[in-house]
Amino acid sequence: MPKMPIMSGYSHRLKILHWVMAVLLLGMLITGFLTPQLSDMSTIKWVIRDAHESFGLLLIPLVFLRVWHRLTSSIPHWKNYPNTFASATSRFVHALFYLLMFALPISGYLTSHPYGIRFFGIYLVNYLPDGTSEILFMTGDADFELAGIASGYHKALAVLFGVLVVIHMIGAFKSATGSKVASV
């Protein structure tokens, strides 16, 4: 792979993709934490839940696009930020962000799978390969058992994602205000 030129900022396309995904992911966090607080009898709960599932599925190709764009584009070299704890934290937080951007939609899909998944009102074919329950050593109604396990992971990963968003925002604020701390 050819060496990419050093630049002073991220590309316009990557900035747009960052902010589109940031808005979607923050919306996912808000709706994900709000929905369980609503009554099952509330129509709005199911509207929000369906939107949460739909946008979660929409995020999957966006994550692939973002990873592809990130791997094939030049990235800025921030010479003002030497290899410090803050820059190491920034790299770690970003690595976790990318991991969670894959893990959250997958765990969300597995959580909703036995109940049927709708993408903006259209029911999708629910598919888990034959033998999944044997691979995961599950008994009984494997889809619902897997959904329960995935739900626990989905919630925990969402909390971790929220914490990382706060850390990222603090780092970005410090970077924008001229602090000698790398943007996280």
- Position 133 in a domain: yes
- Position 5 in a domain: no
Which of 11-15, 46-50, 76-80, 174-178: highest mean pLDDT? 46-50
Q: Is the dihedral of CA 77, 82, 83, 88 positive or negative?
A: negative
Distance (Å) of CA 122 to CA 12, 52, 106, 131, 152: 33, 14, 19, 27, 26
Distance (Å) of CA 6 to CA 3, 10, 65: 9, 10, 22
Q: What is the CATH number of the domain that holds 87?
A: 1.20.950.20
State the Cα–Cα distance between residues 67 and 62, nearest whole angstrom: 9
- Position 182 in a domain: no
169-183: pLDDT as tens digits: 988 887 777 665 445
- Position 181 in a domain: no
Give the confidence band of 31 by pLDDT, cuts at 50, 70, 90. Answer: very high
Record the pTM. Answer: 0.76
- Position 6 in a domain: no
Domain hosting 114: range is 12-76+83-176
- Position 1 in a domain: no
* 41-65 mean pLDDT: 91
* 16-21 mean pLDDT: 90
- Position 38 in a domain: yes
Interior angle at CA 160, CA 149 and CA 156, nearest 5: 20
What is the structure's pLDDT at 175? 74
Q: How far is CA 183 from the centre of its chain?
A: 19
- Position 106 in a domain: yes
**Number of compact structural domains in the chain:** 1
Phi-psi region of 178 (alpha: psi -120 to 50; beta: other; left: phi over 0): left
